[in-house]
Amino acid sequence: MMKFAVVFMLVLLLAPGLATAETSKELIENARAFDGGQVTLQGEVIGVMMRGNNAWVNVYEGGYAIGVWVRAEDARNISFIGDYSHAGDNVLVTGTFNMADPEHGGDLDIRAENFTITAQGAAILRTPNVIVVAISMILVALAIVSLVWLWRIHKGEEKIAPWPVYWR
Amino acid sequence: MIPSLRREDLRIIGFNLSKILFIVSIVMLIPIIVAVIYGEFEIIPHFLIGSSISVILGSITHHYWETDKEMELKHALCFAALTWIVSMLVTAIPLWTTGSTNSYLDANFDTMSGFTTSGLTLVPDIDHLSYSINFYRHFLQFFGGIGIIVISLTVLSRSELSSVLTFKGEARDIGIKPNIVRTARVILGIAIAFMVIGSVLFTAAGIIEGANLRTAIFDGVNYSMAAYSTGGFAPHSQNMLFYHSTLYEVIALIIFLIGSFNFSFHYSILSGRRREIFKNIEIKTFFTILLLSTLVISGLLLFSGVYSTPDVLFRKAFFQAASAQTTTGFGTLYPVQISTIWPSTVVFMMAMLMMIGASANSTAGGIKAIRIGVMVKSFVREIKKALSPRSATVETTYHHVEDTPLTETVAKGAMLIAFSYVLLFIVGTTITMLHGYGMSDSMFETASAVGNTGLSSGITSPAMPDTLKVTYIFLMWAGRLEIMAVLVLIGFTILGIRRGFRK
Amino acid sequence: MGLRKFSLRAFLKKNLDFIAGVSSEIGLCIGIIIIALAISFFLVFIKSLA
């Protein structure tokens, strides 16, 4: 308990002083220690939902995403939302961390005071792997051959049930 | 004395498995539609590889093991158990070759978790997963929720006897229609209807809550499939937290509660017998347990100071309890928070809810509410018997679609399955603890795997030991099949090894 | 497809039953959700008394 209290005090004392951003993992795993304190998070935007004068921006960092409550005008400046074919905008968020925000249904979130887009995202161009395409073509050909072979041997043996009729 | 096994036994099982391989090969082609819509042409070859391998293996087994012999109970149970293993092995191919998981074992973990509608995942980066692969994961859950064999029966015509036997093997002991193939089609019809309703509701909620149309539609379909199948996969790593929305969570609650109802119950209600809602023992037991545990869990979380307002209690305590008991696994908090901020009594209660589960013959897992109801009734009967004069006969009935007398056989069957689940839970918890995890976390994670739930205390991650991944694959598989089919398969294998297969 | 035996009355009845059935299942779930919400309010009320 004592050890925990010391770590807690250290975090409270050092966190605002350090310019480095916390990781999502740290924030989520030590939510109780960070609760109500000022935190900094830097990561990629992976989701934006406009809610009147505010917006939810989900910021992804190191395998975890955290919801950040921002002003709507800040969210409107976001150009790219990260997904498979896009690298989302990189943002730097400073704000109050809540382990279970009572105003947001108990969600773990950050209420942003400063929200800066540090780098704009971009579309990611993905090209097919030639070897994979070649293997798939060979296997498809083999599959078709094996089906034709099977069909020729067992012609007429298999019965397929008629298409379902639900209202009978 | 059990007679020795014959090679014909292997042929019967192998021949029937070939048909499953053909069905699964079609399953792997469906996400190609999503890949085309989202322009992910580089993903298409991966689905073609998986599908082709499945077709080639199916053709070979179909040809070399062809037989016209009928399945007996032992074949049907082994076939049902192997169906899930074979389906897991082939459907894992696209997940692995696209690099969506770190290894082939991880891909198998995810496909078993998908088919068994568990929802535990080892995909390291869901947020950047391709749309087609993401859809594929949810589609597997929807498919597995209805039942691989049930779906196969809607397409393939099979003899009545074999079908009934395999149906039981897949824990679908149900007779809506006199014809088993038509029963399977009714089940599929009900599932598709609710899936469509869910997709519309989720999409509308997504748009209302400020998501863009593209995300709202994609998420709507996927969340709906995962919710109806009480699966728990989500297209985002934050799971239900992504939307930060009460509306979205309420819709999820409605769809996964509906998904956790018995197919016979659905059929009764949808064909006009709506009084069943107030009479059905399974529905009454399920909601009584859910509401009582919500009261206790909410109370503990409130009085221990974790949460303080009614809406927070509803969105965190009730949502998680309902998600656990319906064995869905949707979460509105990060997995690690369950073990770090919730009291251990609550963690234990959640584990118990996951073990109890929802309705039999639904998409849910666990011991099932009907068995709990039957066990409680038989305990009450025993007490009544003890208090009655010797000459008196105490008769008990329970209502499930129709009034059924509570016989010794029914009570014994329920207790046997409950005991098997508890045994799996103890073994799983012990193995997890042997890997160095704490007791309450181990209990929570094991209950989640055995009950096919998918809530996590943070143990399940790509970094977890391979032996534990294999253990959880086994637990999810055994839990989904209600253990019996798996035990028969193990017995079949041991018998085959000890005495060999005669010609 | 069974169209020769098709009866509009039977078809409508079946579909009405279906829609009413879906609505009652959704209604049942909403009912349970409302009870759960009431439990949350009740507990907070009890705590405020203590």
**pLDDT, tens digit, 9 for 90 and up, residues B199-253:** 999 999 999 999 999 999 999 999 999 999 999 999 999 999 999 999 999 999 9
Q: Is the per-residue pLDDT at C3 higher than 70? A: no
Interval B121-173: pLDDT, tens? 999 999 999 999 999 999 999 999 988 777 766 666 555 456 666 666 676 66
Q: Is residue B124 part of a domain?
A: yes
Query: What is the average per-residue pLDDT within A115-127?
Result: 95
Q: B90 vs A136, B63, B108, B139, B195, CA distance in Å?
A: 15, 19, 9, 15, 25
Best residue of B253, B254, B307, B319 to probe chain C, by most C CBs closer than 10 Å: B254
CB contact under 8 A, B258 and C29: yes
- Tell me the pLDDT band of C16, cut-offs 50, 70 and 90: confident
Type of residue numbered A29: E
Interval A5-50: pLDDT, tens? 544 444 444 444 444 778 999 999 999 999 999 999 999 999 999 9
Which percentage of chain C shows pLDDT scores above 90? 60
> What pLDDT does residue B81 have?
92
- Tell me the pLDDT band of B500, cut-offs 50, 70 and 90: confident
Instruction: List CB contacts (< 8 A) between A50 and chain B.
Output: 210
Return d(Cα B327, Cα B330) in angstroms, integer: 9
Q: Is residue A139 part of a domain?
A: no
> What pLDDT does residue B406 have?
86
Return d(Cα A110, Cα A108) in angstroms, integer: 7
The CATH number of residue A107's host domain is: 2.40.50.140
Question: For residue B387, what are the contacts with CB-CB under 8 A and spacing of at least 6?
Answer: none
Question: For residue B9, what are the contacts with CB-CB under 8 A and spacing of at least 6?
Answer: B74, B75, B492, B501
Q: Is residue A64 part of a domain?
A: yes
Q: Is residue A129 part of a domain?
A: no
Q: Which two tokens stand for residue B315?
A: 């969105």
Q: Which two tokens stand for residue B487?
A: 């035990």
- Residue B343 phi/psi, 5-degree rounding, is -60, 150
CB contact under 8 A, A165 and C14: no
Instruction: List CB contacts (< 8 A) between A164 and chain C.
Output: none
Place of tokens 């975090």: A11
Closest Cα in chain C, distance from residue A102 (Å): 14
Residue C14 at interface with chain B, using a CB cutoff of 8 Å? yes
Helix, strand or coil for residue A26?
A: helix
Q: Which two tokens stand for residue B111?
A: 């496909």
Residue B33 or B190, more confident = B33
Q: Is residue B228 part of a domain?
A: yes
Residue C29 or B178, more confident = C29
Return d(Cα B321, Cα B316) in angstroms, integer: 8
CB contact under 8 A, B59 and A102: no
A:B CB pairs within 8 Å: 170
Q: Is the per-residue pLDDT at A3 higher than 60? A: no
Q: Is residue A113 part of a domain?
A: yes
Return d(Cα B111, Cα B138) in angstroms, integer: 10
Return d(Cα C8, Cα C21) in angstroms, integer: 19
Number of domains in chain B: 1
> What pLDDT does residue B258 have?
96
Tell me which residues of chain B, numbers 309 to 338, contact chain C at a CB-CB cutoff of 8 Å.
Answer: 309-311, 313-314, 317-318, 322
Number of domains in chain A: 1
CB contact under 8 A, C25 and B253: no
> What pLDDT does residue B403 have?
82
Return d(Cα B235, Cα B240) in angstroms, integer: 9
Q: Is residue A149 part of a domain?
A: no
**Intra-chain end-to-end CA distance of chain B, in Å:** 19
The dihedral sign for the CA sequence A66, A72, A78, A82: positive
Domain hosting A117: range is 2-123
Return d(Cα B123, Cα A63) in angstroms, integer: 10
Instruction: List CB contacts (< 8 A) between A105 and chain C.
Output: none
Q: Out of B468-472, B483-487, C23-27, which region has the weakest mean confidence (pLDDT)?
A: B483-487
Return d(Cα B113, Cα B233) in angstroms, integer: 9
Chains touching B, CB cut-off 8 Å, 3+ pairs:
A, C
- Residue B330 phi/psi, 5-degree rounding, is -65, 140
A162 to chain C: nearest residue by CA?
A: C1
Tell me which residues of chain A, numbers 107 to 166, contact chain C at a CB-CB cutoff of 8 Å.
Answer: 163, 165
Tell me which residues of chain A, numbers 51 to 70, contact chain B at a CB-CB cutoff of 8 Å.
Answer: 51, 55-56, 58, 60, 63-65, 67
Query: What is the average per-residue pLDDT within C6-30?
Result: 85
CB contact under 8 A, A132 and B340: no
Q: Is the per-residue pLDDT at A4 higher than 70? A: no
CB contact under 8 A, C40 and B310: yes
Q: Is the per-residue pLDDT at B503 higher than 80? A: no
> What pLDDT does residue B339 have?
87
Type of residue numbered B70: E
Query: What is the average per-residue pLDDT within B40-60?
Result: 97
The dihedral sign for the CA sequence B183, B188, B190, B191: positive
> What pLDDT does residue B477 have?
95
CB contact under 8 A, A84 and B244: no
CB contact under 8 A, A168 and C2: yes
Residue A152 at interface with chain B, using a CB cutoff of 8 Å? no
Best residue of B257, B267, B323 to probe chain C, by most C CBs closer than 10 Å: B257
Instruction: List CB contacts (< 8 A) between A133 and chain B.
Output: 45
Which percentage of chain B shows pLDDT scores above 90? 72
Burial of A129 (0-12, 13-18, 19+ CB in 10 A): middle
B:C CB pairs within 8 Å: 78
Return d(Cα A61, Cα A93) in angstroms, integer: 12
> What pLDDT does residue B176 have?
63
Spell out the alpha helix ranges (H) of B31-179: 31-37, 44-64, 73-97, 104-115, 131-146, 148-155, 160-169
CB contact under 8 A, B59 and A149: yes
Q: Which two tokens stand for residue B145?
A: 């929720």
Instruction: List CB contacts (< 8 A) between C26 and chain B.
Output: 254, 258
Return d(Cα B440, Cα A67) in angstroms, integer: 28
> What pLDDT does residue B401 have?
77
The mean predicted confidence, pLDDT, of chain A is 85
Type of residue numbered A166: Y
Query: What is the average per-residue pLDDT within A76-85?
Result: 95
Domain hosting B205: range is 5-259
Q: Is residue B399 part of a domain?
A: no
Q: Is residue B105 part of a domain?
A: yes
CB contact under 8 A, A167 and C11: yes
- Residue A49 phi/psi, 5-degree rounding, is -135, 115
Q: Is residue B150 part of a domain?
A: yes
CB contact under 8 A, B303 and C47: yes
B197 to chain C: nearest residue by CA?
A: C22
Q: Is residue B449 part of a domain?
A: no
B244 touches A107 (CB < 8 A): yes
Query: What is the average per-residue pLDDT within B27-46?
Result: 96
B41 to chain A: nearest residue by CA?
A: A128
Closest Cα in chain B, distance from residue A160 (Å): 6
Q: Is residue B55 part of a domain?
A: yes
Q: Is residue A100 part of a domain?
A: yes
CB contact under 8 A, B189 and A107: no
Return d(Cα B503, Cα B192) in angstroms, integer: 45
Closest Cα in chain C, distance from residue B258 (Å): 7
Q: Is the per-residue pLDDT at B89 higher than 50? A: yes
Instruction: List CB contacts (< 8 A) between A168 and chain C.
Output: 2, 5
> What pLDDT does residue A33 have?
94
CB contact under 8 A, C14 and B271: yes
What ipTM, to 2 d.p.? 0.89
Q: Is residue B442 part of a domain?
A: no
Q: Out of A119-123, B99-103, B329-333, B408-412, which region has the weakest mean confidence (pLDDT)?
A: B408-412
CB contact under 8 A, A159 and B157: yes
